[in-house]
Chains A and B, each alone.
Chain A
Amino acid sequence: MMGIEWLAPVILTVITAATPLVFAAIGELVTEKSGVLNLGVEGMMLVGAVSAFVTATLTGNYILAVAAGALAGMFMAFLFGILTLSLMANQVATGLALTLFGVGLSALIGQDFVGTPVTALAKLNIPGLTDIPFIGPILFGQDALVYLSFVSVAAVSWFLYRTKAGLILRAVGDSHTAAHSIGYSVIGIRYLAVMFGGAMSGVGGAYLSLAYTPMWAENMTAGRGWIALALIVFATWKPGLVLIGAYMFGGITILQLHAQAAGLDLPSQTLSMLPYLATVIVLVLISKDQSRIRKHAPACIGKIFHPAA
């Protein structure tokens, strides 16, 4: 039993480190399933994070703050949609532009809020249940967004594979010409998928600035948007695997925290490198097998659709 007191706080920090990745990756998964590659996740997360933080500071209302994060992410995604879907700009370049713009915009919005902490998002507390040793705080002691992240994965999975709308979305992503000729609005569906992805990235960002480290700092996402993109490849576009991947990366991210507490004598920088190195390694292991990627990746991903008039 002696391992357990040590394990519970570790699991709790893994959950907080993984949750922003779950949101961002599951949203981007839907975007990519519709055949659109939005590399601007990092930028959308940053703008979501700062909008949520500013709203929380000014109003003290956390529901409003999370909504602001989602709306901000959605707004950024809408800009991406205008460029890539309506104006047929290159998706890779536009995604990069979205991230560069997001870095600047979030720094501008947040300049007066750097270093002013807010109270962290409240955690569930059910007397009796939350007090159960070990599993109590893990199962019944999380904040609302953690539960929402699990619900989102289940909902996205159900939507994509159990509903007609999900089937249509996947059809648009796999063969836009076919979907168009049957009469579906390829562009319209992609707008919705892109904006859903933006909203979820925004919520992921909001989780960072409201719960993970309840404060705002420039570039506080520190590459998580890009890691989320890699997670989708790792998960071969399957919602369940996205969840597992996010928790795996959450684990690697917090290794640094606990390794130092455990007295491991390594420079902090070496441990901070781990999530980035792990992303590279994971990409290599998955990409090695191109036939597997090709089998699962949406066939039209990144391709421009222009309905011949």
Chain B
Amino acid sequence: MLLKIVKRPEPSRAMVYLTPLMALVLTVVCSMGVFTFLGVDPVEALRNFFIVPINNAYGASELLVKATPLILCAIGLSVGFRANVWNIGAEGQLTLGAIFGGGLFVYLHDVDSVFLLPGMILLGAIGGALWAGIPAFLKTRFNANEILTSLMLVYVATLLLSLLIHGPWRDPDGFNFPESRMFSESATMPLILEGTRLHFGTILAIIAVLGTWLMLAKTLVGFQIKVIGAAPKAGSYAGFSQKKIIWFTLLFGGAMAGIAGVSEVSGPVGQLLPSISPGYGFTAIIVAFLGRLHPVGIIFAGLLMALTYLGGETAQINLGLPVAVTGVFQGMVLFFLLACDVLISYRFALNRTGRVSG
């Protein structure tokens, strides 16, 4: 091999910020190849993907609408990822949030109270946290791998939602469609901007970002999360409880995803449906990594991934590109990011000795 990989004496700070940009450039270059292969002018496709969706005020507001659940889920996941707790079931926790929050409306649908929506949000957070509490319990009590348990619970959550809206929660006036009642005004997220779909959930996301930032920077638990993530042994010498961190990060992540779920069903969706999310909980994993697990980074990454959803729709309408391009694009971003991240701890050097190195 001509090049060899040499460990840097210290991880490069600059590369931490540069590799997400490198990954984006590589993804854009690669997707131009995909567009060409699909028979579409790549420049025109990129324009439809990244510029057309947000070249007007309504488009920009839609970007925030889509970014809201992504940022909420990702901010929750990032706290766990920092401590090496691999909760990948945010999609299920989001669904449970929607079930708990939406369920309150289903039972109190004729109540017209200012407390209904806050109650739904609170219950949504509890529902998401309970669902994430299952992997936390199984991990701390039985050592069961949280990656697999949290993911299995995604499928269970989706089936549970389907069960409820096919059965007891079905709209009695809904012509037998598997849907709940449409949420009433007092169960709906207030709009922030007339004429758009921008709703109170976005403010919740901003509060979550600021709160998480403060928690990580200023509190003991935030400090413990960072230490356990960076150096598990140092954490245990310092007497930090690994179990407490597992419980905390999973419950926190679940609550955030749960809020995202309520915010979707009481916001843009407006009722409980068989499918309430186009995989926000999974895309949030990419958002968390691309945002470097940092609250500010997650905002930018969330906006970018939201744009790929809008771009996919625009490119489908204007150019007839398949919506699936969005998924490929999102997957490529994470791939290239992980590949470029080698540059944080290592550098490439010419192999002068000419020996073959592994």
**Is the C-beta of A15 less than 8 angstroms from some C-beta in chain B?**
no
Residues of chain B contacted by A288 (CB below 8 angstroms): 142-143
With the chains together, A111 CA to B321 CA distance in Å?
11
Residues of chain B contacted by A79 (CB below 8 angstroms): 335
Residues of chain A contacted by B335 (CB below 8 angstroms): 79, 83, 94, 97-98, 101
Known: A101-B335, A267-B167, A284-B138. A272 touches B143 (CB 8 A): no
Contact pattern, B 136-172, Cβ under 8 Å of A = 1, otherwise 0: 0010001111011101110110011011001100000
Contact pattern, A 91-109, Cβ under 8 Å of B = 1, otherwise 0: 0111011101111110110
Q: How far is the CB of A186 from chain B (nearest CB, A)?
A: 7
**Is the C-beta of A279 less than 8 angstroms from some C-beta in chain B?**
yes
Q: Are B143 and A277 in contact (CB under 8 A)?
A: no
Closest A residue to B349 by beta carbon equals: A309
Q: Are B325 and A39 in contact (CB under 8 A)?
A: no
Q: Are B160 and A269 in contact (CB under 8 A)?
A: yes
With the chains together, A306 CA to B324 CA distance in Å?
36
Q: Are B160 and A83 in contact (CB under 8 A)?
A: no
Q: How far is the CB of A83 from chain B (nearest CB, A)?
A: 5
Q: Are A87 and B342 in contact (CB under 8 A)?
A: yes
Q: Are B334 and A108 in contact (CB under 8 A)?
A: no
**Is the C-beta of A167 less than 8 angstroms from some C-beta in chain B?**
no
Q: Are A280 and B138 in contact (CB under 8 A)?
A: yes
Q: Number of contacting residues on A, CB 8 A?
A: 55
Q: Are B331 and A100 in contact (CB under 8 A)?
A: yes
With the chains together, A96 CA to B89 CA distance in Å?
12
**Is the C-beta of A233 less than 8 angstroms from some C-beta in chain B?**
yes
Q: How far is the CB of A28 from chain B (nearest CB, A)?
A: 13
Q: How far is the CB of A286 from chain B (nearest CB, A)?
A: 8
Known: A83-B338, A269-B163, A280-B138. A100 touches B155 (CB 8 A): no
Q: Are B144 and A108 in contact (CB under 8 A)?
A: no
Closest B residue to A112 by beta carbon equals: B322
Residues of chain A contacted by B326 (CB below 8 angstroms): 104
Q: Are A108 and B153 in contact (CB under 8 A)?
A: no
Q: Are A186 and B358 in contact (CB under 8 A)?
A: yes
Q: Are A92 and B327 in contact (CB under 8 A)?
A: no
Q: Are A233 and B145 in contact (CB under 8 A)?
A: yes
**Is the C-beta of A59 less than 8 angstroms from some C-beta in chain B?**
no
With the chains together, A222 CA to B167 CA distance in Å?
23
A2-10, A151-159, A223-231: which one contacts chain B?
A223-231
**Is the C-beta of B328 less than 8 angstroms from some C-beta in chain A?**
yes
Known: A87-B342, A101-B331, A307-B358. A276 touches B152 (CB 8 A): yes
**Is the C-beta of B125 less than 8 angstroms from some C-beta in chain A?**
no
Q: Are B144 and A284 in contact (CB under 8 A)?
A: yes
With the chains together, A269 CA to B144 CA distance in Å?
25
Q: Which of B6, B145, B334, B339 contacts A100 (CB 8 A)?
A: B334
Residues of chain A contacted by B163 (CB below 8 angstroms): 267, 269-270
Q: Are A100 and B330 in contact (CB under 8 A)?
A: yes
Known: A96-B88, A233-B145, A267-B166. A283 touches B4 (CB 8 A): no
Which 6 residue pairs of A and B lie closest in terms of their CB atoms, listed nearest first? Answer: A104-B327, A101-B331, A107-B324, A269-B163, A108-B324, A104-B328
Supply 16 further A-B pairs (C-beta < 8 A) apart from A97-B334, A98-B335, A280-B138. Answer: A87-B5, A88-B345, A90-B338, A93-B289, A96-B334, A103-B331, A104-B324, A105-B328, A107-B322, A108-B327, A187-B358, A229-B148, A270-B159, A280-B149, A284-B142, A287-B143
Ordered by A's residue number, 5 sampled pairs between the chains whose C-beta atoms are within 8 Å are: A88-B5, A103-B327, A267-B167, A269-B160, A283-B148
Chain B residues with a Cβ under 8 A of chain A = 4-7, 34, 86, 88, 134, 138, 142-145, 147-149, 151-153, 155-156, 159-160, 162-163, 166-167, 282-283, 285-286, 289, 322, 324-332, 334-335, 338-339, 341-342, 345-346, 357-358
Chain A residues with a Cβ under 8 A of chain B = 39, 79, 82-83, 86-90, 92-94, 96-98, 100-105, 107-108, 111, 180, 185-188, 218, 222-223, 226-227, 229-230, 233, 267, 269-270, 272-273, 276-277, 279-280, 283-284, 287-288, 290, 293, 306-307, 309
